[in-house]
Copies of this chain bind each other. A is one copy, B any other.
Amino acid sequence: MTVHSPEARGRGAQGGPADDRALKRERILDAAERVFAQRGFFAAKVADIAREAGVADGTIYLYFKNKDDLLISLFESRMERVNARLAAAVAAAATPRAQLDAFIRAYVDLIVEQPTAAEVLTIELRQSARFMREYSAPRFGELLRLLAGVIAAGQASGEWSDAVPAPHAARLIWGMLDELALAWLLGRDRGGRRGRKPPPAADDSGRKFDIVRAADWVGALVTQGLERRSNA
């Protein structure tokens, strides 16, 4: 049941059997991403995913232990991608302020670029937050630690107040980004799914706002707060 990595056979990049395996695994994960995003984890049938992936039902079980494992693997895969992108963005920036902006910007970019993945991460993987967070803790903690590191650096440099402990600040900022993502993803048009008519906008900020601009607001709120600066 061990999943061989594409390089497991020490070959090059030309399609060996290990590559085939990794490729098909990826195809199934992609299919699962779409189906979970569309129907939700519980409503998604393994048969749906198999059809979407173009494989037989049983094939799913050659690559994943069960439906739960598929969800967890999907989470791992996508979070790995997210963490890598965020880490790279932060690494490329010089100052804490620039790093924070880069973090926010990178996350928003990811959401816009890969809304289906974002939908699964932000919405469906919360299905039973309890259940997921247990599995998601490590990857999710990685993300929070990266952000906390940026905050802590800013605090250490004296640029930022240390009134709020860095780990908590990181979590609060994450809460903003998460909510932003959620609002934007839910506000998009995604075709009449499950025959439900689109409900009226939840609030004025609800549907179809420019998430890139909104990201700036997160940066602004986090750094400057709401208070009007006397010297502004």
Binding site for B on A (CB under 8 A): 40-43, 122-124, 126-131, 133-138, 140-141, 144-145, 148, 151, 154, 158-161, 163-165, 167-180, 182-183, 186, 193, 196, 199-206, 209, 214, 217-218, 220-232
- CA of A168 to CA of B173, assembled, Å: 14
Give the residues in chain B near A163, CB-CB below 8 Å: 217, 220, 224
Q: Is B226 a contact of A154 with CB atoms below 8 Å?
A: yes
Among B136, B165, B179, B222, the residue within 8 A (CB) of A171 is B179
Task: Determine the distance from Cα of A163 to Cα of B217 in the docked complex, in whole angstroms.
Answer: 8
Given the interface pairs A179-B175, A199-B137, A225-B225, the reply to whether A205 lies near B168 with Cβ below 8 Å is yes
A225 contacts B224, C-beta separation under 8 Å: yes
Q: How many copies does the complex hold?
A: 4
CA distance A136 to B203 in the complex (A): 11
Chain B residue with Cβ nearest A119: B130
A128 in contact with B40 given A159-B227, A164-B217, A171-B180 (CB within 8 Å):
yes
* Residue from the set A129, A151, A169 with the largest chain B CB neighbour count within 10 Å: A129
Q: CA–CA, A145 to B204, complex, Å?
A: 8
Closest beta carbon of chain B to A35's beta carbon, Å: 13
B128 touches A228 (CB 8 A): no
